[in-house]
Amino acid sequence: MKIAILLALAARPAWAGYQYYFTDSLQSANPLAWTSTGQLSPGANGGSLISSVPIPGGGSEAEVAITIALKSSGGAYTAFLQASPDARTGSASAGSYLAFEMQNPQFDSGNKNCAANFLLMQSVAGKVRLLAAFSHSCRDGMLMRMAVHSGTVLIGRIRPTRWSFI
């Protein structure tokens, strides 16, 4: 599997008009669309929501984007692809998945600047392998994206006002 960390595509509007086959604002977890595992309440450790909506065409290639409501320091924010219903990261890691995770975001004393660790992980039957790790800026309203196409994993973070691939 190839890993591509995009650095120079800021001017290319490749995803601007993209339409996802399923979107959800997650005001509540619809049991027809989501499988939950672990505790999903704020501050809980080890909870996940995994989409149970099938990929059109039945393939394993897909793309996921999550908008992060980041109001304070701490926590972990994870986007999964190719995940089994029991997929979880962290100390209660389980299942099989590809995961793009932002860990422990920290705001400065003025609550203006934020930095976090980002990880790309693969798990097969609960055995986790770290594929990539790096530190980067973060902010409230940012979009985390991950795509798997033709054996390549693409990851990126998008600021609310401009593209900024990592």
Query: Is residue 49 domain-resident?
Result: no
Position 152 in a domain: yes
Query: In this structure, is residue 53 part of a structural domain?
Result: no
Phi-psi region of 131 (alpha: psi -120 to 50; beta: other; left: phi over 0): alpha
Q: Is residue 143 part of a domain?
A: yes
Domain-located, residue 88: yes
SS3 22: coil
More confident: 4 or 130? 130
Within the chain, strands assigned E span 2-5, 34-37, 48-51, 62-67, 76-81, 97-107, 114-124, 127-137, 143-149, 152-158, 163-164
Is residue 44 included in any domain, yes or no?
no
Q: 135 lies in a domain?
A: yes
Would you say residue 42 lies in a domain? no
One-letter amino acid for residue 26 of the chain = L
List helix spans (H) across the chain: none
SS3 91: helix
Residues 88-114, mean pLDDT to the nearest whole number? 88
Name residue 139's amino acid.
Answer: R
Q: Does the pLDDT at position 6 exceed 90?
A: no
The domain total for the chain is 1
Digit-coded pLDDT (tens) for 122-140? 999 889 999 999 999 998 8
For 25-71, the pLDDT digits (tens) are 777 778 888 877 766 655 555 567 788 888 788 787 888 888 888 88
pTM for the whole structure:
0.77
Task: Confirm if 120 and 103 have CB atoms less than 8 A apart.
Answer: no
Domain that includes residue 63, residue range: 2-8+32-37+59-164
| Structural tokens at position 120 | 């790309």
Closest CA to 159 of 68, 76, 74: 68
* Residues 6 or more apart in contact with residue 31 via CB below 8 angstroms: none
